[in-house]
Amino acid sequence: MGAKSVIFVPSERRLAMKLTDKRFWKFEAMMLLCGVILLCQMLVILLCNGAEFESCNGAVLILLFPVLCLYFAISGIPTWLVYKVNSWLKLAGYLYIFSALLLIVPLLIFLYDWNPVTANIRPENIPADEGKYITDNEFIITICAVWTALLIIPVMITSYLTKRWIVNTKITDN
């Protein structure tokens, strides 16, 4: 009557990452670093292309900083839950997918014009004799393509640093 059954839990399940784990908050700090790296990357690209920062443009970039940090903090939650203790490239892949989808899916749902009749209409402010113009759908697809290209470097850097800092210390602690 007093026999106890012992359940064997594989080591991978014991090392499963949970939101209550203190390493999760270290990972979220790394996601904030990912937002900082992306903002710096955007600044370098803008400066290399001759952008001038006046009062309005500078304010937009200052306001963009907390938005990027919140963006990566939100995309880090499903990444942390899905990622098992493996390679940093898997972590980068998960983070890249969730980060890209967090922007692309709402853009395609709410802003993309799926009606083929109205999708290719010339914008109102373009004169009739102008031959080249960009439609709203082309602009949204361009934003999505540029965003996915810009995400690669910050995601790779923070994933590698996360693997070196959090996951290696976790294995040595156990």
pLDDT tens profile 111-156? 999 988 888 777 788 877 777 888 889 999 999 999 999 999 999 9
Query: pLDDT for 73-84, tens place per residue?
Result: 999 999 989 987
H or E element: which one contains 124?
none
**Three-point CA angle 88, 90, 95, nearest 5°:** 95
Give the HSE-up count for residue 31: Cα atoms under 13 Å, Cβ half-sphere: 27
* pLDDT above 80 (res 171): no
Asked whether 126 and 138 are in contact (CB, 8 A), the reply is: no
Question: What average pLDDT does the segment 68-72 reach?
Answer: 93
Instruction: Specify if 150 maps to a domain.
Output: yes
Token look-up 């009557």 returns: 1
The per-residue pLDDT for 117 is 83
The per-residue pLDDT for 14 is 46
Instruction: Specify if 146 maps to a domain.
Output: yes
Instruction: Specify if 8 maps to a domain.
Output: no
The per-residue pLDDT for 9 is 44
How many domains does the chain fold into?
Answer: 1
Asked whether 110 and 130 are in contact (CB, 8 A), the reply is: no
The per-residue pLDDT for 148 is 95
Asked whether 69 and 40 are in contact (CB, 8 A), the reply is: no
Instruction: Specify if 155 maps to a domain.
Output: yes
Instruction: Specify if 15 maps to a domain.
Output: no
Cα separation, 91 vs 96, whole angstroms: 8
Structure tokens at 149: 């290209």
For residue 172, what pLDDT band results from cuts at 50, 70 and 90? low
Quote the pTM value: 0.76
Instruction: Specify if 105 maps to a domain.
Output: yes
Per the prediction, the chain carries an average pLDDT of 83
Cα separation, 29 vs 47, whole angstroms: 27
* pLDDT above 60 (res 45): yes
Least confident of 44-48, 119-123, 159-163: 119-123
Instruction: Specify if 4 maps to a domain.
Output: no
Residue range(s) defining the domain that contains residue 52: 20-113+132-169
Cα separation, 105 vs 98, whole angstroms: 10
Instruction: Specify if 3 maps to a domain.
Output: no
